[in-house]
């Protein structure tokens, strides 16, 4: 597991390491819970809406802790794992007084099965405590802070023993299975004992102040129903390839990052977890990126999730709408919103003092020429599933994206890493422009009379010759990140992955070796560029794929196993990893990291099936 985050700013207690967090999902929202039983993040209405617990980003911004009193003291030991093929977490605490298990879940709708998971999630966080041995003193500490910690709610003791938290647009109802909850100022604290065989169920239900009241569920029944819903979902999927346990876990995480009502996949469940503790590269990833589209689609297809892939595509087509002259946004809200303008929560201190804390992401305003290539590549990937002739909206979208690239491929852009400085002619952007034209030529028979494959092929070939001429830097002996720049960039690994060049091409082979030599680390991780402070997990998996394609299967397998070793104890991967300490960095769980794992595992299984 990764190293601790370190001592806090201004002498405060440190934040837990990012790898300390496990992830809960109901395919509507996500929550993060620590090994010591503190729910430090939950956005109950939707992944990308305000949180009610934000301790993840400020130690005073709200949490719900439920754990033995002995947590963190000598003699206390924790074991935790997801129940098989679910995001239902079971944590067993062994203490000097005895052992107790806490099972945490975001509840599925009662009776939901298979692809119904998440369609009508009730927005209820359930926690079931089970005494296993001895008599274990337990502590409950409930301190909600809605709207990213900005609101301090009124807390009301209700006649049925529950506590109502009421602030702004939010209602929360905490029920504790008959425990006599008492309000203590701005929080609820309660100490109790658990004996062997005793079971106590607790639930926290969310509702809108002016909407329907929060749902009421029996926690024990809700956990059982949620487990069955996840199991039924996974039973509809089959993966027959290498590293099946890792792929199934990553596929489950991707499902848990899917907003079921639209099919959009959030890039991560969190905002503003830093690339470097104390740094300012802290962005909101709770949206769905078109850039990741082809990789996401491929991962869902590989993991035998055709229904999710189709729904994700339908979401993208609807979100993009009619294509005009303006660049297609790189990201959208989970229901297709375009304007996700960035704001700073200046009142939050940030994870480990990393400011600013941001909500929204201004990358939606950027010109990123790779985006159409991701979408058209995804259409090409799904072509047989979509039929011999596409419907009107699909045809118009592909035609519009293709013509947009034909008119703009020669322009500079911000690149796939979303730099916030000057536009450049990024190698990966040009390669994805080539992908747009190449896949459009192949799709032309399904696009109707307006398809122009002869002209598109000419533009495709012009882009290719430009990349081959301008993209390779003789001084470095490799393809670099941008035309005219000597700086290596791991995105050059996309050339074989996207079928632009074979990995055995001499210049490409030299690039692969240069990336591993100059951007690689002793831990097997690959940085995006030389000054990148940490290894970027997706790039590391790209290197695995390139080594397979270069015929270096043994090397690729060894690298894959080193990279997946950076997952935390429940199999979650963040965006980056510190190559020295092993600490996870960046937003978590990170969809691209799990997508990279799935695609690399399948590349090791069948290099030709892409």
Tell me the average pLDDT across 496-518. Answer: 98
Written as six digits, the tokens of 50 are 């305000």
In a domain, 2, yes or no: no
Q: Are residues 168 and 262 in the same domain?
A: no
Q: Are residues 537 and 588 in the same domain?
A: yes
Say what the alpha-carbon torsion angle 360, 41, 1, 590 is, to the nearest 10 degrees: -30
Tell me the average pLDDT across 588-592. Answer: 97
In a domain, 192, yes or no: yes
Backbone angles phi, psi at 171, to 5 degrees: -120, 135
Summary mean pLDDT of the chain? 93
Question: What is the model's pLDDT at position 564?
Answer: 98
DSSP element (H, E) containing 174: strand 170-175
Spatial distance between the Cα atoms of 545 and 468, rounded to a whole number of angstroms: 21
CATH number of the domain encompassing residue 96: 2.70.98.50
Q: Are residues 73 and 160 in the same domain?
A: yes
Going by pLDDT thresholds of 50, 70 and 90, the confidence category of residue 2 is very low
Q: Are residues 75 and 190 in the same domain?
A: yes
More confident residue, 316 or 18: 18
Spatial distance between the Cα atoms of 28 and 6, rounded to a whole number of angstroms: 32
Domain end point (choices 235, 270, 302)? 235
Residue 101 to residues 31, 71, 94, Cα–Cα distance (Å): 19, 13, 9
In a domain, 5, yes or no: no
Spatial distance between the Cα atoms of 104 and 202, rounded to a whole number of angstroms: 10
CATH number of the domain encompassing residue 324: 1.50.10.10
Domain that holds residue 99: 18-235
Question: What is the model's pLDDT at position 4?
Answer: 38
In a domain, 165, yes or no: yes
Spatial distance between the Cα atoms of 328 and 321, rounded to a whole number of angstroms: 10
392 has pLDDT over 90: no
Q: Are residues 406 and 458 in the same domain?
A: yes
Domain end point (choices 235, 270, 301)? 235
Tell me the average pLDDT across 11-33. Answer: 90
* CB contact burial 143-182 (16+ within 10 A = b; e otherwise): bbbbbbbebbbebeeeeeebbbbbbeebbbbbbbbebebe
Residue 133 to residues 53, 76, 196, Cα–Cα distance (Å): 31, 14, 4
Going by pLDDT thresholds of 50, 70 and 90, the confidence category of residue 8 is very low
Q: Are residues 365 and 514 in the same domain?
A: yes
Backbone angles phi, psi at 24, to 5 degrees: -115, 145
Question: What is the model's pLDDT at position 3?
Answer: 38
Q: Are residues 453 and 390 in the same domain?
A: yes
DSSP string, 349-411: --GGG----EES-GGGGS--TTHHHHHHHHHHHTHHHH-SS--HHHHHHHHHHHHHHHHHTTS
DSSP element (H, E) containing 295: helix 293-302
What are the residues whose beta carbons fall under 8 Å from the beta carbon of 157, sequence distance 6 or more? 163, 181, 182, 183
pLDDT in tens, 62-75: 999 999 997 888 88
pLDDT in tens, 339-359: 999 999 999 999 999 999 999
Q: Are residues 263 and 206 in the same domain?
A: no
610 has pLDDT over 90: no
Contact 277, 5 (CB under 8 A): yes
Tell the residue number behind the tokens 């729910």, with chain if given.
39
Q: Are residues 226 and 255 in the same domain?
A: no
In a domain, 13, yes or no: no
Say what the alpha-carbon torsion angle 430, 431, 432, 434 is, to the nearest 10 degrees: 90
Residue 439 to residues 374, 398, 401, 402, Cα–Cα distance (Å): 10, 10, 12, 9
Q: Are residues 214 and 270 in the same domain?
A: no
Question: What is the model's pLDDT at position 203?
Answer: 98
Question: What is the model's pLDDT at position 382?
Answer: 84
267 has pLDDT over 80: yes
7 has pLDDT over 50: no
Question: What is the model's pLDDT at position 588?
Answer: 98
Question: What is the model's pLDDT at position 13?
Answer: 64
In a domain, 27, yes or no: yes
Spatial distance between the Cα atoms of 293 and 397, rounded to a whole number of angstroms: 15
CA-nearest of 250, 259, 303 to 120 is 259
Domain end point (choices 235, 258, 285)? 235
Q: Are residues 39 and 158 in the same domain?
A: yes
Tell me the average pLDDT across 8-33. Answer: 84
Q: Are residues 222 and 168 in the same domain?
A: yes
pLDDT in tens, 166-193: 999 999 999 998 898 999 999 999 999 9
Please state the domain count of the chain.
2
In a domain, 6, yes or no: no
164 has pLDDT over 90: yes
Tell the residue number behind the tokens 């006649």, with chain if given.
159
Tell me the average pLDDT across 41-59. Answer: 98
In a domain, 519, yes or no: yes
């Amino acid at each position: 597991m990764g190293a601790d985050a370190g001592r806090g700013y201004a002498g405060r207690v440190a934040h837990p390491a990012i790898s300390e967090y496990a992830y809960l999902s109901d395919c509507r929202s996500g929550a993060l819970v620590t090994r010591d039983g503190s729910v430090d993040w939950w956005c109950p209405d939707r992944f990308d809406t305000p949180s009610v617990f934000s301790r993840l980003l400020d130690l005073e911004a709200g949490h719900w802790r439920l754990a033995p009193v002995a947590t963190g003291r000598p003699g206390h030991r924790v074991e935790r794992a997801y129940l098989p093929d679910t995001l239902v977490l079971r944590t067993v605490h062994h203490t000097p007084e005895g052992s107790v298990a806490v099972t945490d879940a975001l509840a599925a709708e009662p009776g939901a099965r298979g692809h119904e998971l998440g369609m009508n999630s009730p927005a209820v966080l359930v926690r079931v405590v089970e005494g296993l041995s001895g008599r274990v003193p337990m502590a409950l500490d409930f301190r909600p802070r809605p709207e990213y910690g900005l609101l301090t709610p009124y807390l009301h003791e209700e006649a049925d023993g529950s506590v109502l938290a009421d602030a702004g647009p939010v209602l929360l109802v905490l029920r504790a299975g008959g425990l006599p909850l008492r309000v203590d100022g701005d929080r609820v604290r309660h100490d109790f004992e658990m004996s062997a065989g005793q079971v106590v169920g607790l639930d926290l239900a969310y509702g809108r102040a002016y909407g329907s009241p929060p749902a009421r569920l029996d926690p024990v029944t809700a956990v059982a129903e949620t487990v069955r819903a996840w199991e039924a979902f996974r039973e509809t999927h089959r993966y027959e390839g290498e590293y099946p346990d890792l792929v199934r876990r990553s596929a489950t995480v991707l499902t848990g990052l899917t907003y079921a009502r639209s099919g959009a996949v959030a890039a991560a469940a969190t905002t503003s977890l830093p690339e470097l503790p104390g740094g300012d590269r802290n962005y909101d990833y709770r949206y769905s990126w078109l850039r990741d589209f082809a990789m996401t689609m491929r991962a869902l297809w590989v993991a035998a999730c055709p229904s999710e892939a189709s729904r994700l595509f339908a979401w993208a087509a609807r979100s993009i709408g009619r294509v005009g002259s303006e660049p297609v946004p790189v990201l959208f809200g989970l229901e297709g919103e375009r304007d996700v303008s960035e704001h700073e929560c200046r009142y939050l201190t940030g994870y480990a003092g990393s400011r600013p804390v941001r909500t929204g992401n201004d990358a939606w305003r950027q010109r990123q020429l790779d985006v159409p290539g991701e979408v058209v590549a995804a259409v090409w990937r799904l072509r047989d599933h979509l039929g011999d002739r596409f419907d009107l909206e699909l045809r118009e979208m592909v035609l519009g994206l293709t013509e947009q690239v034909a008119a703009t491929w020669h322009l500079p852009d911000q690149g796939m890493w979303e730099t916030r400085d000057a536009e450049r002619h990024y190698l990966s952007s040009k390669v994805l422009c080539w992908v747009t034209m190449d896949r459009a030529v192949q799709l032309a028979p399904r696009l109707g009379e307006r398809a122009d494959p002869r002209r598109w092929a000419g533009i495709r070939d012009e882009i290719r010759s430009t990349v081959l001429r301008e993209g390779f830097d003789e001084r470095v002996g490799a393809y670099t990140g941008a035309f005219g720049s000597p700086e290596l960039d791991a995105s050059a690994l996309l050339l074989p992955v996207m079928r632009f060049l074979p990995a055995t091409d001499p210049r490409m082979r030299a690039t692969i070796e240069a990336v591993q030599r100059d951007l690689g680390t002793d831990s097997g991780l690959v940085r995006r560029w030389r000054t990148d402070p940490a290894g970027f997990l997706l790039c590391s998996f790209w290197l695995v794929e390139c080594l397979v394609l270069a015929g270096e299967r043994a090397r690729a397998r060894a690298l894959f196993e080193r990279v997946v070793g950076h997952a935390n104890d429940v199999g979650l991967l963040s965006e980056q990893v510190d190559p020295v300490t092993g600490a996870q960095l960046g937003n978590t769980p990170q969809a691209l990291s799990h997508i990279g794992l799935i695609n690399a595992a399948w590349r090791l299984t069948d290099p030709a099936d892409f």
